[in-house]
Structure 1
Amino acid sequence: MTDSLPVLEVVAAVIEHEGMLLVCRRAEGRSAAGRWEFPGGKIEQGETPAQALIREIREELGVGITISGHLTTNDTVVSGRTIRLTCLRAALNDAVPVASTDHDALEWLAPGRLSGRRWAEPDLPAVSLLTNAAASGTPAR
């Protein structure tokens, strides 16, 4: 990516529950409205990606998560800036989320069905990784 572009550091949760992954559709009035993404948000000053993700999921979805590992980190240029998205694998600590402050729809999808959605650009590398792993029958790393 171009070094002169501003970089926005964000993190997203690939939450698995009963073999399905949580995907969320961006609400109207938000950037990338109508597109699907893994839930998460901006990394604040002084936070690690894991700390930021735990905070963001609690704020957005009202549930706790446990981080179980790193899936991928990718840079995507969107609207004149670089979005550096780190996707972390996570599991729910408590109830299944039913609503979101940033999204108008939440769905659970099998990894092999992820490609059937209109995704926010920064999430596409993770979607590709998860979809290809599902197709080959090997876990995404």
Structure 2
Amino acid sequence: MTTVGAALRHTRTAEEGLRELGIQGRALTPTAELLVPGDDLAFRLRNAGLARLRTRIVRADAERLESVLIAGPLQELRHESVLAEAGDHTLLTDSLRWTTPFGPLGRVVDVALGRRVVLAVLAGRMRAVGALAEQWAGRPVVVGTAITREGRLLVQQRRYPARDAGRWELPGGRVEAGESERDAVIRECKEELDVDVVPTGRVGTDVPLHNGMLLRVHTAEPADPGCEPRAVEHRAVHWARATELSALDWLEADRVLVHSLRELLS
């Protein structure tokens, strides 16, 4: 489900799902390919002369993606995509709600044209999500670990390579052949922090990496609450409060999960 959640958040999904109907869409994001709360999406119909629509992401996690209209002719438009496990598959439910402008005439146009276009857009978007998730499904996995204690998150500062020195990330590493993700979490934390941890769950969606792998973040707690992690391979470690997370200079792959990590602590 977390792979589908990543595909749902990818900027390519929004753009490709609309292109089939001649609707130009683009994500107004600064650097990341995955949408985060606060990112905007802009849309307009090609050669139609209609006012542009602009929506803002208000939620983006492993269970749900939500956006609201912040500019355009429609009123109270809200888009929700909800994910749920259905056996070995993931069920994606899309819904779009809005208030029709221009009174009775607007309602006639809404029924005759608007709803048909919306259904076609959502169907195209679902196809794009499915294709992207299937493309990523066979990628090797890198685990990250969100270790929490007393409302704080353990983060570590990179020592190398030079381009990343001084930046912050979650502990973790590649899942080895024949190794479960849970075992990889335990091993990596022991190697990088010299602590034993107990994995407790998951947080956020997967994150596709430029090296052809998937980052998947697990949650964990120290097996011994009194044991202090140490920087074995990194420059420093730090127990960060939720209010500190946005200010840290994160590696790009971890930064798109900061909002989920903040919710985890809260």
The answer (yes or no) to whether the contact 1:75–1:82 under 8 Å persists in 2 is no
Number of residue pairs matched by the alignment:
131
For 1:23, give the aligned amino acid: V
Alignment of 1:1-141 (within 5 A): 3=135, 7-29=139-161, 32-78=164-210, 81-94=211-224, 95-101=227-233, 103-131=234-262, 133=263, 139=266
Shift of 1:74: 1.9
Higher Cα Rg, which structure: 2
The answer (yes or no) to whether the contact 2:201–2:220 under 8 Å persists in 1 is yes
**TM-score w.r.t. length of structure 2:** 0.45
**TM-score w.r.t. length of structure 1:** 0.80
Task: Note closer, same or farther for the CA distance 1:124–1:60 as it changes in structure 2 (3 Å cut).
Answer: same
Which runs of 5 or more structure 2 residues have no equivalent in the other structure?
1-6, 8-131
For 2:178, give the aligned amino acid: G
Deviations along 1:100-122, whole A, 9 cap, x unmatched? 22x10111111232010111111
Q: How far, CA to CA, are the matches of 1:87 and 1:42 in structure 2?
A: 12
The answer (yes or no) to whether the contact 2:141–2:174 under 8 Å persists in 1 is yes
For 1:123, give the aligned amino acid: D
**103-112 or 25-34: which moved more?**
25-34
Identity of aligned residues (%): 34
Q: How far, CA to CA, are the matches of 1:38 and 1:67 in structure 2?
A: 14
The answer (yes or no) to whether the contact 1:22–1:38 under 8 Å persists in 2 is yes
Larger helix fraction of residues: 2
Q: How far, CA to CA, are the matches of 2:213 and 2:255 in structure 1?
A: 12
Q: How far, CA to CA, are the matches of 1:83 and 1:105 in structure 2?
A: 26
Q: How far, CA to CA, are the matches of 2:163 and 2:179 in structure 1?
A: 23
For 2:239, give the aligned amino acid: W
SS at match of 1:107: strand
Compute the RMSD of aligned alpha carbons. Answer: 2.4
SS at match of 2:161: coil
Q: How far, CA to CA, are the matches of 1:98 and 1:113 in structure 2?
A: 20
Deviations along 1:26-55, whole A, 9 cap, x unmatched? 113367332110101111011111110101
**67-76 or 27-36: which moved more?**
27-36
Shift of 1:91: 0.3
Q: How far, CA to CA, are the matches of 1:15 and 1:86 in structure 2?
A: 14
In structure 1, the partner of 2:99 is: none
SS at match of 1:57: helix
